[in-house]
Amino acid sequence: MLVFLIFWAPVQAGTAADLKTLEAVIEEGDYAGALEMADRMLAAATEEFGPDSTQVAAILNLQVGALWLGGKIDAEVQALAEKALWIRRSEFGDQHPDTVASMNSLGNIMYMRGDFGEAARMYAATLKARQAILPPGHKDIATSLNNLALVQYRTGNYLEARKNFEAALLIREKQFGPRHMKLNSTVMNIGLLYQAEGNEEQALHYYHRALEIIEENHGPNHPSAAAVLRNIQQLHSAAGRYQEALAYSRRGLAVLKATVGLDHIDAIDLRVDQAIIAWHLGDRATSATLFQKSLAEMRSTLEPDHPALIPVMHNVAFVLGEQGRYGEAEAMLREALDLSRRTYGAEGFRTHEIQAFLANLHHTAGRYVTAVEDAVEAERLRLSSFHKVAGSLAESEALRLDRVRGNRLDWADDALLRLQDELDQGGVKPDRAAAIQAAVTLYWNQLVQSRAAILDELGARGRILQAATDRDTKNLLQVLDQIQNQLGELLLLGESGSGDRSYLKTLGETLEARARAERALAAKSTELRRRLAARTVGLDAVRAALPGNTALVAYSTFDHLEPSPLADASPAASVKIYFALVLKKGDPPQAVRIGQAPELEARILRWKEEASTPPPALPVLAGKAEARYRQAGIALRKMLWDPIATRIGDVDQVMIVPVDQ
């Protein structure tokens, strides 16, 4: 995804006209022209006022903006931003608007270089200073709110990011109206937040609004339009609409070709996206070439530890794995994983995504124990990240996020069953058998924790809130109750036939009000939960809770990719596989393959049809109907239950956990 920071510097007295002109050139997207103009202005200001003058600092601040917007993001640019800040801080102190503007500019460079921790600190200091020296609702406060929210979004703090994005947008709408270019960045960034939460409809709404704002103010060929087009393209690609995605990608490249050139980092990003699309459309050769070329271009353009390299290294590793070059693929993934940990943290989305892909690579290479270990670690990280993020979301948003991010254990389901098959066939050396059993146990333990994740998160939230006695929480609960009543009345009204625009507008506003109230309560419950002792239920706790001579059977599914029989065909078809996990109190856990979904579901359907058909009145026909019912039941039992029965033996009772879907 491409993102927008807001760049804004107050005009310096004495060179106001030239600075305003330079600002306008940058806003028009003519970054090369702006840099030429800045060089001339710097030479003149240095000669007239000296190299450490405030006039030079004012020009440097704008030059830094033109440089990073034009694609140059490195230590040299950061040094220029630091010099401008040093000059202004020396002359004006920390509480001057010009000093604060340079702090914001330096924060932008830190963010663009992937130093999110330092960027967050700089943005927070900028916001605090602006709130101290500027009136409430000032446009520069909106700038700081937007930029701080962006780094919060990048580091997974969705609650604070949403609050600050919405506050920034409110200020800018009040200052400039709903269609001004100054709104574009914040509108775009709110779309990013919705996309991260899996809300495609809302994300597209904000992206198209941002695109309309750009085109109304500057026409279709402004560099900022390419950023929005890329994000729209990624939404279509994620939904499997690859032809639509390709069209938006080509539009974005055309914009960049007409403005900043195809060697710009944004153009390289779009070519990476086209490599992904080519793979999904079945053109593996083009995909591999584009991935490798894009990584080389990025390495020559960006610094060695820039986070934009992470997804490209991931994709190149995928290509290497497909070619059977597992050692090279793993080395590339380990490099990406290390960079992701340093950039996004151990629980960042990119980190557990790469950890999961390591599981896939090991599975493809036949290293099944390692595949299970990597998938379990990826799921543990995902679950920890989910608990942190879900507390800031409404229930529907939390459920959507869990669905979009997926269960990382899916990457090792087939490996798990292969390991169990190996164990069941016998003749396994003791060390190997112990390693396999440890992997099965590890998987089981994580599955127990993952299945309860969302219900535990939302259930604990509700229990804590209902038990709370403080006034703020009670007031929030009352507000939510009122909104729920209003929503119920509206839905009843809708069922009676009212569907005009005013009704739909009111319904939409009420739904959004409910989401805001739920988010506020989620934040409150997060605060309360910090005071409570957390307890994670795992395999040992489940085993201990089982009554004597009892078996626990948990059914599950995973999607197994079947390679296409055609060369250079579209992506492999996905076949759903049913399996079960079996646990008895005194025995190690086991995994049991049930079979493919089409056959099992056909047997279930046939049994349901026979069971739901009333018996004929004639005894002869009734006997035949009963025989068909019994045959359908036996066929279903043989596939669904008999493989389990051989594992559990003679028990007093069986506890069944149904498929988690």
Query: In whole angstroms, how far apart are CA 295 and each of 83, 531, 600?
Result: 32, 46, 44
Average of per-residue pLDDT across 4-33: 70
DSSP 409-477: GGGGHHHHHHHHHHHHH----HHHHHHHHHHHHHHHHHHHHHHTHHHHHHHHHHHHHHH--SHHHHHHH
For the chain, give the mean pLDDT: 82
| pLDDT greater than 60 at residue 640 | yes
Q: What residues have CB less than 8 Å from 626, skipping those under 6 apart? A: 615
**Predicted pLDDT at 441:** 87
Instruction: Calculate what percentage of the chain has a pLDDT beyond 90.
Output: 31
265-269, 372-376, 410-414 — most confident range: 372-376
DSSP 8-class letter at 564:
P
What is the pTM assigned to this prediction? Answer: 0.59
Average of per-residue pLDDT across 168-197: 91
Write out pLDDT tens, residues 540-583. 777 777 888 888 888 887 766 543 322 223 345 567 888 888 88
Question: Residue type at 38?
Answer: A
- Separation of alpha carbons 574 and 561, rounded Å: 5
Report the half-sphere exposure of 584 (CA within 13 A, side-chain side). Answer: 15
Instruction: Provide the β-strand partners of residue 580.
Output: 555, 592
**Predicted pLDDT at 303:** 83
Going by pLDDT thresholds of 50, 70 and 90, the confidence category of residue 406 is low
Write out pLDDT tens, residues 55-74. 999 999 899 989 988 888 78
Q: Would you say the C-alpha torsion 85, 89, 91, 94 has a positive or negative sign?
A: positive
- Separation of alpha carbons 16 and 9, rounded Å: 12
Query: In whole angstroms, how far apart are CA 303 and each of 115, 330, 383?
Result: 12, 22, 32
Do 60 and 80 contact (CB within 8 A), yes or no? yes
| pLDDT greater than 70 at residue 239 | yes
DSSP 205-273: HHHHHHHHHHHHHH-S--HHHHHHHHHHHHHHHHTT-HHHHHHHHHHHHHHHHHTT-TTSHHHHHHHHH
**Predicted pLDDT at 504:** 57
pLDDT higher for 238 or 94?
94
Write out pLDDT tens, residues 68-119. 888 887 889 999 999 999 999 999 999 999 999 999 999 999 888 878 888 9
* Residue among 408, 362, 361 at smallest CA distance from 384: 408
Instruction: Calculate what percentage of the chain has a pLDDT beyond 70.
Output: 82
CA 21 to chain centre: 39
Least confident span in 278-292, 373-387, 509-523? 509-523
Residue 3: which H helix or E strand, with range? Answer: none
Written as six digits, the tokens of 102 are 């340079």
